[in-house]
Amino acid sequence: MPGDGLPGANRTTLGRLTNGWTLLLVCLAVYGPLFWQIPLARGESIYALIPKEMLAAGSWFTPILNGVPYLDKPPLLYWINLLGYKILGVSDWAARVPTLLLSLGQVWITYLIGVRLLNRRAAWLGGFILLSCVGFCALSLQLLADHLITLCLAASLYFMLRWQEAPGFRWSVLFFLTLVVGFLGKSFIGVGFPLAIGGIYALYMHQPRLFTLFFSPKGLVLVMLLIVPWFVGVENAHPGFLKHQFVNEQILRFLGQRQPLDISPFSLAGFWVFLAIWLMPWTVLLPEALVRFWRETGGSEEKKRARLLIIWVAVILGFFTLSASRIEYYSLPALPALALVVGWRLDRYLSGPRDTKPVWGLLLIALLGMTLLLLLPNLEALCAGNRREFVGLVALIEPLAWLASFLVPTLALVGLVAGFRRPWVTVGSYSVLALALVGLTFYSLVAISPHLSDKTPGEYIRDHAGAQDLMIMEAIEEYEMCGSMVFYADHPILMVQRDGLPEFPYPVPPEKNYLISPERLKELWFGPQRVFLLVDDAFPVEHYLEGALAVVKIPGKRLIVNHP
């Protein structure tokens, strides 16, 4: 393992300050007060609702969404959240506890990899950069299967490195267990990413013995024994599941031909723009850090091992660059490796008093902060092109944007002046900026949460609707977007299908089908049952709905009723 290059006494002090436990405490101190304060948004809520319905049904086998089997994704995150409900009770904050633990795990394993490939200080800096970047904050406050994939990918690479150093049964078993967890978390990419990265690394390092790890017969048998039973069981219960899961959700999704066509992928430029946003404020250091990292990690085999980080980033970003279906947060699995590269660069900076390049990045951050109000409408347009709920979000965060346009340049310029020729002050300035952006990101999410979440109308339904009353959602393109409303309302809903969307990608029994036609909506609206209808202000309503009583009004949405 590379050393820290410090005298013994300083190394001892550094070891106390830059060990993994202090990093976890920092992460917990930052995110512990935040994770439970944001309601479930439409895009994430299926990971809270499905385990809630599985728990109510007493079934750990088939995922259930709004009363219908949900066969789009493997079950592991549902099982984890279901277990959380068993321990903590059912609530939105309880659904977020596993995500908080996964976030802590990502920071921890990033540190461990950095210790193996770089040195302890660079590893600590890389872990801090990861936990303090905008993307990690924004995504760690959401329920996403990508957290599980990121953790499993990093853990599998760590166990591969340990096996490379000392081949043994323990590291082999742990490597294959992470592949199992990755597969049950998000299917093929949970296995494909680690094997692709590991395979390229083995070829680059001229170490074919690593392939004896990847193709270990005992390891492959272990994987099959732990993965196959659930998939075979679901196929028996729901014929066609395997074809839907592996062909439609994997191959056709990659090619942009998944059915139904209810996903609007981000453009290639948008995907890369969001990668730059996710790593802020550390992004300004990344280009020079990558060039210098590649230049200085050549030569000895020990140094070349660090280039695993470059291979890691290249595989993840290359895959989603080629994919026709990409979403802004799909770059999350690459963030740990990028954070470690920037951490390595700052470690070099702290060791070289004549090195002044990083300090000038603060000037670029100041300039970006000054232009923030001009850039935000373009960012909204980029997001709204993918998902309609982002329309109008700039207006909701405008007060925070004004604050950021003053605070960020001020902090950056103060850091530039105070940190010139003082590397520790510069790194401290970046850290203060990063934590300030974490705070601004959190409050931005709080500000837009009424727009993205159906908590308010859902709780109104829960408190005022009877068992015979109907709850209907209008102008929704993806059937998964019912999750937030159903979770908070604790009441099944119907969804209006327009222009073929939303649509189930697999057969659903007629008695469980909750998609209705516009004509059926009109019949129900004028029928004897009370109907609560959630409408989107961005779309005009049918003429007969104009003037209907709105019992709940929130940004972008209204809950109207036919019989007050």
At 277-295, the pLDDT tens digits run: 999 999 999 999 999 999 9
Q: Is residue 544 part of a domain?
A: yes
- Residue 37: closest CA among 340, 435, 449, 318: 449
Number of domains in the chain: 3
In 210-278, DSSP assigns E strands to none
As a whole number, mean pLDDT of residues 394-415 equals 94
Shared-domain flag, residues 359 and 423? yes
Q: What is the DSSP letter of 354?
A: T
The DSSP H or E segment spanning 484 is: helix 483-489
Q: Is residue 471 part of a domain?
A: yes
The region, left, alpha or beta by phi > 0 then psi within -120 to 50, assigned to residue 21 is alpha
Domain that holds residue 409: 354-452
pLDDT computed for residue 15 by the predictor: 57
pLDDT computed for residue 393 by the predictor: 80
Shared-domain flag, residues 397 and 491? no
Shared-domain flag, residues 388 and 536? no
* Token pair for 406: 């003053």
Shared-domain flag, residues 529 and 424? no
pLDDT computed for residue 406 by the predictor: 95
Q: What is the DSSP letter of 245?
A: I
Shared-domain flag, residues 439 and 466? no
pLDDT computed for residue 12 by the predictor: 52
Q: Is residue 320 part of a domain?
A: no
In this structure, the number of other CB atoms found within 10 A of the CB of residue 173 comes to: 15
Shared-domain flag, residues 414 and 471? no
Which residues have CB under 8 Å from 501's CB, separation 6+?
A: 260, 262, 477, 478
pLDDT computed for residue 26 by the predictor: 96
| pLDDT tens by residue, 155-171 | 999 999 999 999 999 99
Please check whether residue 258 is in contact with residue 252, taking contact to mean a CB–CB distance below 8 angstroms.
yes
Shared-domain flag, residues 123 and 248? yes
Decide: pTM greater than 0.85: yes
- What type of residue sits at position 330? Y
As a whole number, mean pLDDT of residues 227-232 equals 93
| pLDDT tens by residue, 360-403 | 999 999 999 999 999 888 888 877 776 667 777 888 899 999 99
Bigger pLDDT: 95 vs 20 = 95
Please check whether residue 199 is in contact with residue 211, taking contact to mean a CB–CB distance below 8 angstroms.
yes
Q: Is residue 168 part of a domain?
A: yes
| pLDDT tens by residue, 201-215 | 999 999 999 999 999
pLDDT at 522 over 80: yes
As a whole number, mean pLDDT of residues 88-117 equals 97
* Token pair for 141: 């406050």
| pLDDT tens by residue, 249-275 | 889 888 888 888 777 788 899 999 999
What is the pLDDT of the chain when averaged over all its residues?
Answer: 92
* Cis ω before 510 (30° cut-off from 0): no
49 vs 77: CA distance, rounded Å: 12
pLDDT at 302 over 90: no
Kindly state the percentage of the chain with pLDDT values over 70: 96
**What is the distance, to the nearest Å, from the Cα of residue 463 to the centroid of all Cα atoms in its chain?**
32
Please check whether residue 47 is in contact with residue 78, taking contact to mean a CB–CB distance below 8 angstroms.
yes
478 vs 154: CA distance, rounded Å: 31
Shared-domain flag, residues 370 and 467? no
pLDDT computed for residue 154 by the predictor: 98
* Token pair for 95: 């659904």
pLDDT computed for residue 13 by the predictor: 53
pLDDT at 10 over 60: no
As a whole number, mean pLDDT of residues 176-195 equals 95
